Amino acid sequence: AVVSTQSTGTDVECIDSELAMSLQWLLDNDISDVVELTFAVDRVEFGEQGSLELKPGGGDILVTEENKVEYVRLLSEHKMSGAIRSQIGSFLAGFHSIVPRRILAIFSADELELVLCGLNIIDRVDWRRNTQYVNFAERDDMIVWFWEILDGYTQEELFTLLKFITGYSRVPHGGFAQFASISSSGPIKISRGNGTEENLPKSSVCFNLLLLPVYSSKEMLRDRLHTAMTYASVGFDQC
């Protein structure tokens, strides 16, 4: 709605997976003499059951093999915008009062998502290049082990760790270098933490800071880090 794009069955999956599966089945199969649908949908408004035509005269137009693609498109658009048109209108009025429509016109939907939400893939090399160390040196065993462990992480695990350290679930547009400029927290930092090997790593999202006690082996670091980022909440105690 913010950027004018045509809704698809893939979009519908975000809000109604069962409907999305049904629409995909219509597209993938020959529905001749199988499905009895029209270009109209049931709706309830103020407690009253009614019908809404997806196109003029839709209540009398059967969905066929020839027009099923149009049906899927119109139903997807209805589910994603038409059914909540007034709510979308109110949202856009507020949104455009802050971000003028003329500015948004230069973006595609994917570009706007990137600007607003950040990158959905973590570049380990970029992360390492833009990390600072406090009371550690890059050649120290703990730091070498840390990056070796991250080399084996899935993208999901990397994002879990990122959120544990920074509170962010995405990387800012422009990469890890942008952490130094988007807030007063500064770049991501790894600092030597207090405590013994029995202690878990801690984080301080106010400073984009990971506090690592010194462990005697890479396996111990791997285990403690996984436990901390998976089961512990993000840290504010050092803020």
Question: Would you call 206 a catalytic residue per the annotation?
Answer: yes
**Which residue among the candidates 14, 117, 206, 239 is catalytic per the annotation?**
206
Tell me if 182 sits within 8 A of 164, measured CB to CB. no
Rounded CA separation 67/190 (Å):
59
Q: Which residues are catalytic?
A: 206
